[in-house]
Amino acid sequence: MIARMSKSLRRLLELAAEKIGVRTRRSLTRQRNQSDAEWAAEVQAFMQEVGEGPEASLPDPGRSYPATSQSWKIEPFGKTASVPYKETFTSEEFEKLKRGLVPEAMEDKWFIYFENAELFLHRSWTGKGVFRARLKEEANGGATVIEAACAGQDPELDEEYKAELLHFLIGNLLLNRQLPYPKHLDEKERVPGMIQHAFSGSGYPEKTYRDE
């Protein structure tokens, strides 16, 4: 009971201090591109600077990388349909895929994690599972997509287009490839780039996708 009261009182003091421009506490957030060694060095430097007193706040493990299924509130996948997404990744790219993506701002529309040889992509706002891709690790440390799927049934979007969307998300959100957004020919928008922003929170150049 005393511990709970102490924690609550501390938080009230922190909020009051922040309102008058005083920071009573410092914390760390692990960045997506930090290696384990870089992260360990940053934590060590942080602890040496602030000590182990009450002002030191170590990061929430759930916000650290690599992302896991426990890093975000998610919903289980429902029925899925296969999409023709096939790709091979280098060992360096595969390591980036396994780090995933934990949302940090409203513009981050996706939560992504790798678990049990599968890459899962969930909408960050709702936790809904949308895409999943199973990978096979190769002898050289890289990986190959052996199957992929998309949740839900949308007769207006063909499976090839869904594969294009998955290719766009993985390539840009995880690998920084700067790929153009595949805007569907039938999509109409009042403001250019509005559909892409709603989908991925990004503003990459766009290309027109046409059903064959």
Query: Is the residue at 182 inside a domain?
Result: yes
Do the strands 143-151 and 129-137 form a parallel or antiparallel pair, or are they unpaired? antiparallel
What is the distance between the alpha carbons of residues 202 and 177, in angstroms, rounded to a whole number? 13
27 & 114 share domain: no
54 & 84 share domain: no
Residue numbers of the domain that contains 57 = 2-63
116 & 179 share domain: yes
194 & 106 share domain: yes
Q: Indicate the number of domains in the chain.
A: 2
Boundary (domain end) residue, out of 63, 97, 113: 63
30 & 127 share domain: no
56 & 89 share domain: no
9 & 107 share domain: no
List of residues 6+ apart from 11 with CB closer than 8 A: none
DSSP 20-83: TT----EE----TT--HHHHHHHHHHHHHHHTTSTTEEPPPGGGSSS--TTSS--PPP--EEE-
106 & 201 share domain: yes
193 & 90 share domain: yes
Query: Is the residue at 107 inside a domain?
Result: yes
31 & 91 share domain: no
Residue 81 near residue 153 (C-beta atoms within 8 A) = yes
Query: Is the residue at 68 inside a domain?
Result: no
- pLDDT-derived band of residue 54, with 50, 70 and 90 as boundaries? very low
Q: Please give the structure tokens belonging to residue 16.
A: 């009051």
What is the distance between the alpha carbons of residues 132 and 113, in angstroms, rounded to a whole number? 10
What is the pLDDT at residue 5?
A: 44
CB atoms within 10 A of CB 44: 10
| pTM of the predicted model as reported, rounded to 2 decimal places | 0.72
The predicted model gives 206-210 an average pLDDT of 86
What is the pLDDT at residue 38?
A: 75
- pLDDT-derived band of residue 90, with 50, 70 and 90 as boundaries? very high
47 & 119 share domain: no
Question: 21-25, 102-106, 179-183 — which is least confidently predicted?
Answer: 21-25
The predicted model gives 169-181 an average pLDDT of 95
The predicted model gives 191-206 an average pLDDT of 91
157 & 205 share domain: yes
Q: What angle do CA 73, 173, 164 make, to 5 degrees?
A: 105
178 exposure class (CB count in 10 Å sphere: 0-12, 13-18, 19+): exposed
The predicted model gives 18-45 an average pLDDT of 59
The predicted model gives 3-16 an average pLDDT of 51
